[in-house]
Amino acid sequence: MQTTINLFKKENELRIIEDELDIYLEIPHIAYAEVKKKDGGKALLFTHAVDKKNGTKFQEPVLMNIFGSYRRCELLFGRTIESVADEITRLLHMKPPAGFLNKLSMAGELFSLKNIFPKKLKKAGACQEIKYLDDAVDLYKIPVLTTWEQDGGPFITMGQVYTQSLDGELVNLGMYRLQVYDKNHLGMHWQIHKDSSHFFDQYQKAGKKMPVSIAIGGNPLYTWCATAPLPYGVNELLMYGLITKQPAKLVKSLTTPLYIPQDVDYVIEGWVDTATLKIEGPFGDHTGYYTLKESYPVLQVSAITMKKKRVYLATVVGKPPLEDKYMGWATGKIFLPLLKTTAPDLIDYHMPENAGFHNLIFAKMEPHYKGHAKQFMHVFWGAGQMSFVKHAVFLDENAPKLDNYESLVSYILNRFTPKSMFISEGILDALDHSSPESLVGGKLGIDATAANKVDAPQLLGDEELLFKVKELVPDTIALHQYMRHTKNPITVISLNKKRKAGEYFDALVSLSTNIRIVIFVDEVRNDVFNPYMLVWRVTNNMDALRDVFVSGLMVGIDGTNKTLLDGFTREWPADVDCTQSVVDSLKHRGIWDFDDELYNKFQL
């Protein structure tokens, strides 16, 4: 962490804030705004963190937003992201060498691979300079942040969670939400599809407690590795060795059999009683909504160790854009070669951060025959973490760059017809709130590989169209049309919703000569002129099986909040919002330097 701080100082990528700031809301709110600035703002070092509620002043600083720009990501990787992807591609396509020189070249490349394997040390690590055992364990000695007012408590956001299978043969490094219940208990928010959850099942069936060690800090690549979507049973620290050409140096935990990197800043060790679950949450999450209370395993902490000179690493979650925008960019680039082994006709893919990643993916492929894209959808929805994607658009090799949204969406809309859609059902991320039941819901695929011939509608201006729509749907509040230059313009209508959206759609079918794609949103908390946040809202709120309507060439999408009016019986979560009194206080003290225009654009 200190090396990272020095690097960012040298590269003018660090903002140091020396004001006394509370770990409750104040520090997270500043970091939440910073990452939304141009190019991700700066990394932030808070040198005087306090816990006002308990009267605690922390010795260590809090470091945030370290991955929050493309430039900082590459500084932390120490090389270009593309070079890592190229290296993985070479390894995956390595062939027996022909000729002596090629054999020498391959020998050198294979010899360098010896450094990717973690190395276990027999001595203690720098992370164990200070030790707290048994009754001395106190999680409140660590400046764990509380990010949002409705959060169930503080939680660790950048924890490296080390676990192993029951037989000790497999190890895993993951990142999960870790709620601080009290001085020696943590909630373990590992979802059912995570490797640690699979290990938990093994211990539970055997009736044994499960060892866990949690590290915070150290080389930032340990933290990135914790998010890497590697296959089950593959040690994520192999990626650290591959990237740095140095093995991760590990030391044994004091009270568990697990090994952790010797240079991390904190280690929290403990055991999970597999017979006990506890309510965890609610918490604002990266979806931009609060996730609801659910039962998860609990870690009883047996030891906390730390460096003498330590730094607490944290991040924030909420509405996009966030630090995960840049971490996800690196992950997407690096793991494209691995995904291509499952989907060999894949050229590239991109997940827009304002759709929360798993809510929308654009994928470019080489279609070879009729229906190939629909076949490809099944491949995607069965490939590891891609199986949690809700909405996927597949394009041919002639499509524009996947992050050139204006050109890309024009390309899609000019060849879209309702028959381009493929609606299915599958598993969903546990954080998804829109489906009628948890973990399972609708999937929408769009085949934009075929150049369907589509006639453009008879366009009206916003004002004239709004007048006609209000005659048919009096609950309409506002309207705006997007992509009017395409064959399938998008009309966004905000409503004071009193009926099911499907009924509003049926009422508008008589305007099908003027409207092609209509999207309904609630009037409250939505701005029909803010496309960035509309994408966020609609992809979060829709379930394709329930919320897509078709009549001839006209398609409707229900992006409203769901209630009993819609037959929705689950609890609908609240938006994640900044606490206005905290923002006002930070402004008054001259610490808040975020533009009001951006504050409104990103609906903070």
Task: Please indicate whether residue 168 or residue 231 has the higher confidence score (pLDDT).
Answer: 168
Do 120 and 268 fall within a single domain? yes
Taking the C-alpha atoms of residue 436 and residue 568, their distance in angstroms, rounded to an integer, is 6
Band the pLDDT of 98: cuts 50, 70, 90. low
Q: Tell me if 521 is assigned to some domain.
A: yes
Over range 421-430, report the average pLDDT: 91
Provide the CATH number for the domain around residue 535: 3.40.1670.10
Band the pLDDT of 106: cuts 50, 70, 90. very low
Band the pLDDT of 12: cuts 50, 70, 90. very high
Give 3-state DSSP helix, strand, coil % of the chain, rounded to 5: 30, 25, 40
Do 380 and 268 fall within a single domain? no
Examine the pLDDT at 94 and tell me if it is beyond 60.
no
Over range 58-86, report the average pLDDT: 95
- Final residue before a domain boundary, out of 254, 282, 314: 314
Examine the pLDDT at 531 and tell me if it is beyond 80.
yes
Do 421 and 483 fall within a single domain? no
Over range 264-273, report the average pLDDT: 98
CB 416 within 8 A of CB 448: yes
Examine the pLDDT at 151 and tell me if it is beyond 60.
yes
Q: Tell me if 432 is assigned to some domain.
A: yes
Do 485 and 557 fall within a single domain? yes
3-state per-residue secondary structure call for 420-442: HEEEEEEECCCCCCCCCECCEEE
Provide the CATH number for the domain around residue 180: 2.30.110.10
* Strands of 483-602, DSSP E: 490-495, 517-522, 548-551, 554-558
Q: Tell me if 601 is assigned to some domain.
A: no
Taking the C-alpha atoms of residue 336 and residue 339, their distance in angstroms, rounded to an integer, is 5
Least confident stretch, 87-96, 355-364, 587-596: 87-96
Do 302 and 339 fall within a single domain? no
Examine the pLDDT at 111 and tell me if it is beyond 60.
no
Do 213 and 362 fall within a single domain? no
User: Tokens standing for 440?
Assistant: 């399972």
- Final residue before a domain boundary, out of 448, 473, 497: 448
CB 258 within 8 A of CB 211: yes
Do 429 and 482 fall within a single domain? no
**What pLDDT, in 10s, does the model give residues 287-341?**
999 998 999 999 999 999 999 999 999 999 999 999 999 999 999 999 888 888 8
- Final residue before a domain boundary, out of 423, 448, 473: 448
User: Tokens standing for 358?
Assistant: 């798993």
Sign of CA dihedral 143, 148, 154, 159: negative
pLDDT at 307: 98
Taking the C-alpha atoms of residue 45 and residue 293, their distance in angstroms, rounded to an integer, is 32
Band the pLDDT of 515: cuts 50, 70, 90. very high
* Strands of 371-415, DSSP E: 391-395
Do 236 and 385 fall within a single domain? no
- Burial bucket for residue 507 (CB in 10 Å: 0-12, 13-18, 19+): middle
Q: Is the peptide bond before 282 cis (omega within 30 degrees of 0)?
A: yes
pLDDT at 40: 95
Mean pLDDT of the chain: 93
Q: How many CB atoms within 10 Å of residue 342?
A: 13
Band the pLDDT of 342: cuts 50, 70, 90. confident
**Strand 361-365 to strand 391-395: parallel, antiparallel, or no bridges (unpaired)?**
parallel
Q: Tell me if 397 is assigned to some domain.
A: yes
Do 434 and 493 fall within a single domain? no
pLDDT at 387: 86
Q: How many CB atoms within 10 Å of residue 125?
A: 22
The length of the chain in residues reads: 604
pLDDT at 265: 98
Do 471 and 536 fall within a single domain? yes
Least confident stretch, 184-198, 234-248, 479-493: 184-198
pLDDT at 479: 98
Q: Tell me if 579 is assigned to some domain.
A: no
Do 556 and 433 fall within a single domain? no
The domain tally of the chain equals: 3
pTM given for the model: 0.93
Q: Tell me if 438 is assigned to some domain.
A: yes
Do 527 and 470 fall within a single domain? yes
Q: Tell me if 10 is assigned to some domain.
A: no
pLDDT at 108: 54
Over range 227-241, report the average pLDDT: 88
Q: Tell me if 22 is assigned to some domain.
A: no
Least confident stretch, 31-35, 151-155, 336-340, 504-508: 336-340
Look up the domain containing 556 and give its range: 462-566
Over range 349-369, report the average pLDDT: 92
Examine the pLDDT at 425 and tell me if it is beyond 90.
yes
Q: Which residues contact 405 (CB under 8 A, 6 or more apart)?
A: 352
